[in-house]
Amino acid sequence: MAVFVALGAFLMTLAGGWVAQRVTDRRHLVLGLAGGLMLGVVGLDLLPEAIEAAGTPVFGVPAALLLFVGGFLAAHLVEGLLAVRQVAHGASGERVPQVGLTAAAAMVGHSFMDGIALGAAFQVSGSMGVAVALAVISHDFADGFNTYTLTSLYGNARRKALLMLFAAAAAPVVGAATTLLFTLPEELLGGYLGFFGGALLYLAAAEILPEAHHTHPTRSTLLCTIGGVGFIWLVVGIAE
Ligand SMILES: [Zn+2]
């Protein structure tokens, strides 16, 4: 099931890259919606379930919440490292293709984590799997979009950008498939989902939402975001 859903992620990533090639003016609405769906999944579904699965307090705080904060910080750290490289290389004012490839490789690694989270969620429960599938598939559009844009922005050939896009699209399927090889204890799964939630929230708050509002600071983008959160609340409520 997880691998089947990961195929949806595969298609969504390719769709994002395809749109990146021919920029449309509806992009900000899709990104706004993706940000809302991610916020909804993390806050309304992922965290409550992760706390239930890995709620053992560590020095007064549930383990799942500590890992959630750790995931947020880890994503922040990775982005900071990429930014430092970018500044160092770009000081001379020229765009170094290597920077684009490094950033795209980070996107591939992230997409692999998406796949693992997908498989882990389905190991916890079916409803958990569906929730994470929503979070992964909805933002994979942004993943594909960013992978293609980052690679080509720094002067890499179109063929290379397409290659990175394909790698980012295949990574969730590979990640989900690896989770079929082992069964993890529920405590560990909950912890990983907490960590994943932190990274996901960072991605939504620091990358996707600012990009959605970048060129079109419109009310409709905000409505898409709120609609995304409301949709997840509805899904969680119905599943209860
Ligand atoms: Zn992703």
Residue 30 CA to ligand 1 center (angstroms) comes to 15
Check residue 24 and give its pLDDT.
57
Q: What is the pLDDT of residue 87?
A: 59
What is the predicted pLDDT for the residue at 184? 78
Ligand 1 centre distance from Cα of residue 112 (Å): 8
CA of residue 92 to ligand 1 center, whole Å: 32
Q: pTM for this structure?
A: 0.78
Residue-by-residue DSSP string for the chain:
-HHHHHHHHHHHHHHHHHHHHS--TTHHHHHHHHHHHHHHIIIIIIHHHHHHHS--EETTEEHHHHHHHHHHHHHHHHHHHHHHHHHHHHTTSPPPHHHHHHHHHHHHHHHHHHHHHHHHHHHH-HHHHHHHHHHHHHHHHHHHHHHHHHHHHTT--HHHHHHHHHHHHHHHHHHHHHGGG----HHHHHHHHHHHHHHHHHIIIIIIHHHHHHS---HHHHHHHHHHHHHHHHHHHHH-
Q: What is the whole-number distance in angstroms between the Cα of residue 60 and the centre of ligand 1?
A: 31
pLDDT confidence of 86, banded at 50, 70, 90? low
The predicted structure's pLDDT at residue 208? 80
Q: What is the pLDDT of residues 103-141, one digit of tens each?
A: 788 888 888 988 998 998 888 888 878 888 888 887 788
Say which residue, 231 or 167, is predicted with more confidence: 167
CA of 168 to the centre of ligand 1 (A): 9
The Å distance, Cα 68 to ligand 1 centre, comes to 16
Percent of the chain's residues with pLDDT above 70? 90
State residue 60's pLDDT score: 94
Compute, in angstroms, the gap from residue 25 CA to the centroid of ligand 1: 22
Report pLDDT digits (tens) over 30-45: 778 888 888 988 998 8
Cα 97 to averaged position of ligand 1 atoms, centre (Å): 23
Q: Of 197 and 145, which is predicted with more confidence? A: 197
The whole-number pLDDT of residue 188 equals: 87
Determine the average pLDDT of the residues in 69-78: 92
Ligand 1 centre distance from Cα of residue 59 (Å): 31
Rounded mean pLDDT of the chain?
Answer: 83
| pLDDT single digits (tens) 183-221 | 878 888 889 889 989 988 998 898 788 878 876 667 888
